[in-house]
A and B are shown apart, each in its own frame.
Chain A
């Protein structure tokens, strides 16, 4: 707690205007991210999990200032970068790097691998020419690629190798924070494990802070220290990995965990919770708790009261009115 967090986000909001009609007037707002707060320290991985469209990738892009936040604050190593112009942000980009989801479209198809990895070094004036090539070669080796491949184009690499390239590029400027947006979801399971292990090794070596976005609970369990569960633009539960998997407190987390396959065939899986209906549109979120329309434990108040994220147990935050401060943490009984 003595150290200030590498990345801190307070009440972050990102709304996208919806335009329609003949005159393209604003007809609505998509609340992609609607009040998200968290902090990550050096050497720590915060996982962000949730289903498609819950706003987890938008959190990543907004934190990177690739999207301008609508409201809230982003503190990078204690510096409030929220309202920085692209020019002001540039000098801080060295501290926060990113690994993208799609290893095929996240690299310029007309550049050579070595140039892609070495570009940040040139941009920030850290190394040029021969010196740059030497550093790139070292990075290649560090992420498990052969330096001979520096002259190749990215389409000549496999998916796993490309993701290693992405990691090498992120690593090149020695950042504090790496935002990894679904970095392994496009890879085979065996390659996923290799890339995840590489990321864990690098984290230990360089004390990197990871904001790790994924929809895959198995991947989360492997890499994260703490996990934030998102639903419709909000964090509904935020706690350490162990408590999340052993004692989920939010009904949505519980349903999410019950849907994940158990890798041990001898174990009987817990009763599966099938949520009724679909995720509501973030343009028209339900009143009160966004989850009440699908929640098996919903009570009448859920429709009106918007639950705040409360720390109901040490280090365990949850946003549910059925989990009040000092309340019972035992499993809930369905109301329907």
Chain B
């Protein structure tokens, strides 16, 4: 009798073991996501963990990294640590908002282009036109025409990113349209917006999410570039681009004021791209086992 109760019951894998399996299966998603998450948390709590990024301490100019100044100070005696962490806010806000706006606009236009042939002919020519404008020059032109600010930087970066999303979505929609399940839905009487929203839209999401991560990474780089050129966010808002730009003339004496924000930029873009690569592998039904 007792022997029955002694039967080995397979134990459910512990949470730790499950996490371990998940990391081994998708290391890129895990590492990219973790780095990004840490940066987002740091940026969010920046005012509580750092000092004022604009506070000048002339007696402490060009100090190397130390216990008091973790990342050193710049030529005006500003805390590079505070500036770098605050700079993450600009980069993340720009990256995420550009990804969101470009995806929503691009998805809408791409769906319409893939679905309606007449819209396609017109919109795609406009997109070709936008793609032929150098994005940095467009941004500089827009910013010189208006007052500098985060808003106009976003607009300037979103415009050249939209055509890439439109092209992707359109091609995905075209390939979905020839799928038998669309014909099956049509013969079942599904038509118009319902066909678009219920059958086509959900199946475009996977490639779109992956594209959004690349747009995000590219937007961060463009923003840094614009700020470096002085055409980005105004200098009173620290961003990685303008920190590097301001530290440029003191590079030989105080390399930390360039290298550290530069390293953060590289790391962030790398993390976003890793996440994108991981998601691409994970979301591609041909490459992944379905959950």
Contact = CB atoms under 8 A, between A and B. Distances in A.
Q: Do A and B bind each other?
A: yes
A108 B199 CA distance: 7
Sorting the interface of chain A by its residue count into under 10, 10 to 19, 20 to 34 or 35 or more gives 20 to 34
Interface in B167-198: 179-181, 183-191, 194, 198
27 contacts: A61-B183, A64-B183, A64-B187, A66-B186, A86-B191, A98-B183, A98-B187, A100-B180, A102-B180, A105-B179, A106-B180, A106-B181, A106-B183, A106-B184, A108-B185, A108-B199, A108-B203, A109-B181, A110-B202, A111-B199, A119-B189, A123-B189, A123-B190, A123-B191, A124-B189, A155-B290, A169-B184
B138 to A, nearest CB: 33
Contact of B191 (A64, A90, A105, A169): A90
Interface string A59-82: 001001010000000000000000
B203 A109 contact: yes
Contact of B188 (A61, A102, A123, A155): A123
Interface of A: 61, 64, 66, 86, 90, 93-94, 96-98, 100-102, 105-111, 119-120, 123-124, 155, 166, 169, 173
B285 interface: yes
Contacts of A97: 187-188
6 closest cross-chain pairs (CB), A and B: A123-B189, A120-B188, A106-B180, A110-B202, A108-B181, A98-B187
Nearest to A124: B189
A90 B187 CA distance: 8
Interface residues of B, number: 19
B223 to A, nearest CB: 34
Nearest to B183: A66
A124 B198 CA distance: 16
B192 to A, nearest CB: 9
A66 B183 CA distance: 7
B185 A119 contact: yes
Contacts, number: 65
A155 B189 CA distance: 23
Contacts of A90: 189, 191
A119 B188 contact: yes
Contacts of A98: 183-184, 187
Contacts of B188: 93, 97, 119-120, 123, 169, 173
Nearest to A106: B180
A57 to B, nearest CB: 11
Given A97-B187, A120-B190, 8 more contacts: A90-B189, A98-B184, A98-B187, A100-B180, A106-B181, A111-B198, A119-B185, A123-B190
Residue among B187, B190, B198, B290 having the largest count of chain A Cβ atoms under 10 Å: B187
Contacts of A111: 198-199
B189 A105 contact: no
B91 to A, nearest CB: 34
B116 to A, nearest CB: 13
Nearest to B194: A123
B185 A173 contact: no
Contacts of A96: 187
Contacts of B191: 86, 90, 123
Nearest to A118: B188
Contacts of A123: 188-191, 194
A109 B183 contact: no
Nearest to B200: A108
Contacts of A105: 179-181
A102 B178 CA distance: 14
Given A108-B199, A110-B203, A120 B189 contact: yes
Contact of B189 (A61, A93, A100): A93
Nearest to B187: A98
A61 B184 CA distance: 11
A94 B190 CA distance: 11
B176 to A, nearest CB: 10
Interface string B197-210: 01100110000000
A166 B188 CA distance: 11
Nearest to B203: A110
A123 to B, nearest CB: 4
Contacts of B198: 108, 111
A41 B203 CA distance: 39
Contacts of B180: 100-102, 105-106
A109 B187 contact: no
B285 to A, nearest CB: 7
Contacts of B202: 108, 110
Nearest to A179: B187
Contacts of A110: 202-203
A124 B190 CA distance: 9
B285 A100 contact: no
B53 to A, nearest CB: 46
